[in-house]
A and B are shown apart, each in its own frame.
Chain A
Amino acid sequence: MYTSIPKGLTDLTLAIEKGTNAVISNRYNPFYYHGALPQFYLWVLFLSGLLLFAYYIPTIDNAYFSANLVNAWTSVDYITGKLPMGAVVRGVHRYAGDAMVITIVLHALRVWVTDRYRQYRWVQWISGIVLLLMVLFIGQTGYYLVWDERSLVLTRMTVSACEALPIIGPGLKAWFLNGSAITNLTLSNFLFIHIGLSFTLLFGLWVHYVRMTRPVITPPPAINYMLMAVLLLVVFAYPITSGKMADINSAPTSFDIDWFFLFPYWLMAKVDLTTYWVLMIGATVGLCLVPLPSLYKAAAPIEAAEVVLTKCVGCSLCANDCPYQAIEMVPAPAGSRFKLLATVKPYRCSGCGVCVGACAFDAIDLPNLLDSDVTAQIRAMAEAKPN
């Protein structure tokens, strides 16, 4: 238990959570909804994004900066300056993205600190990394879409990074630009990636949740109000500003950086492209390896629960209570007095014993801790003569 994590760190987290419980009670403790926080921001992003999508025009025309120009930048400018509440919706969309990254990182940190990321949870850890990468890339495409000078620099940097990759480089570049150069089609592609990948997140989240019984994906209303309020206050405190409209013939070199999404570009500017890719791919693979069993000598192997076939009455209580969907009720073999029979999927089982507690018939057991042994131990303790 907790052996792979510095003990002080876990104790500190538990102490902070206990303190939070004392102030706002367990029910509203945001630490207990850490996975639901980014999920809430995802809904905010979908909704505000839908409103922006209604007015966004994915083209790069800049016909010598003529009057009545219609392109991505002017449509964003129109949203921000003219549309009622447009500035607020745009701000909410931007900051909800930042907030989502922050909450995802906090979620991952808590999961790591409390040792809830390995063994039977590896699917959640790996899918979480994939989801984080997707969120980062979606956020970056959002920065290309506004089509100011920063977008132009970012697009060019991405292209050069793609080109640096062997074999797949040219194909990746052509896919990214939707052609061989930056054209109107490029922005259509960005918009498609931005929105299409966002919906793909839902598939990723399905993988992320699929082994969970009753996943906690909705914080209580009071927390939702606070999450939304934070966005609105930040929208006022740091109003969104656009850079200058991008001009394909110019070569802007510097831009303000959003540390939540654009840190890869900061790295790209500091090191050469080979180092960049080695670092990025290395970091991703490294994160994926965190739950590798051989890194934790102390981690006890899990022994999956076993059903006592002669005792199971097929009542489904254990299957209902199993927190990891590891128990499936199957039709009982012919000749049985009961309709159903519990079966354990060992690769999902965490060995927690919640099913043992759920069984009123002693029909399910942890092989390394039989409930009959526990009961015998309890009896022996209770009956022992005082010494």
Chain B
Amino acid sequence: MGKTIDIVLVVVGAIACLALTGLMPWAELGMTGAPDAWPLWLRWINQNLGIPLPSYDQVASLSTGWSEYLKKAGAESSFGDYAYSLVMGLAMVAAAIGIAAIGREEAEEKTVLPVKK
């Protein structure tokens, strides 16, 4: 019973952590996945070696919402950095849940000594 929950928590934590980590470059680029925003060397790799850059179309709507919130909260610039902080914080929460689920033992209120043969 407890073990199933733990496994579910580990899987959920790991997936959430990976997904949020995937958002970090997007945040660092200023909450945009536009090709021009990527650093030169990545664009070079993309053009010459054909390795595709990830697309962030699906999360584009987050950008406006978060920027508006930050503007209202008083931040003047580097919204992407704040977004990075948020995404990293959420990723760490997910990681903590996963790690705790791996390392957690049943709450021990009772120790039965192992019987030696």
Contacts and interface: CB of A to CB of B under 8 A. Distances in A.
A376 B73 CA distance: 71
B99 A222 contact: yes
Interface stretch (A161-169, A189-197, A231-239, A291-299): A231-239
A8 interface: no
A241 B105 CA distance: 43
A344 to B, nearest CB: 30
Interface string A14-36: 00000001111111100000000
Interface string B83-117: 11110111011011101100111111000000000
A81 B78 contact: yes
Contact of B104 (A24, A235, A239): A24
Contacts of B76: 80-81, 241
Interface stretch (A51-59, A82-90, A100-108, A364-372): A82-90
B89 A27 contact: no
A226 interface: yes
Given A24-B104, A225-B92, A229-B92, A241 B85 contact: no
A85 B107 contact: no
B93 A226 contact: yes
Contacts of A225: 92-93, 95-96, 99
B73 A26 contact: no
Contacts of A91: 85
Counting contact residues on chain A (CB < 8 A from B), the size range is: 35 or more
A221 interface: yes
Nearest to A85: B81
Interface in A113-152: none
B88 A232 contact: yes
A22 B92 contact: no
B86 A232 contact: yes
Contacts of A205: none
A222 B86 contact: no
| Contact residues of B: prevailing secondary structure | helix
Interface string A356-374: 0000000000000000000
A87 B104 CA distance: 36
A229 B81 CA distance: 15
Interface in A39-95: 80-81, 84-88, 91-92
B4 interface: no
Contacts of B106: 25
Contacts of B95: 225
Contacts of A86: 78, 81
Contacts of A354: none
A59 B74 CA distance: 26
A36 to B, nearest CB: 15
B23 interface: no
Nearest to A242: B76
Contacts of A238: 73
B98 to A, nearest CB: 8
B48 interface: no
B103 A220 contact: yes
A233 B81 contact: no
A223 interface: yes
Nearest to A25: B104
B90 A87 contact: no
B82 interface: yes
B83 A226 contact: no
A80 B70 CA distance: 14
Nearest to A29: B107
User: Which 6 A-B residue pairings sit nearest by Cβ, starting from the closest?
Assistant: A232-B89, A239-B75, A229-B92, A225-B96, A236-B86, A222-B100
Given A225-B92, A232-B85, 7 more contacts: A22-B107, A85-B81, A226-B93, A228-B92, A233-B90, A238-B73, A239-B73
Interface of A: 21-28, 80-81, 84-88, 91-92, 220-223, 225-226, 228-233, 235-239, 241
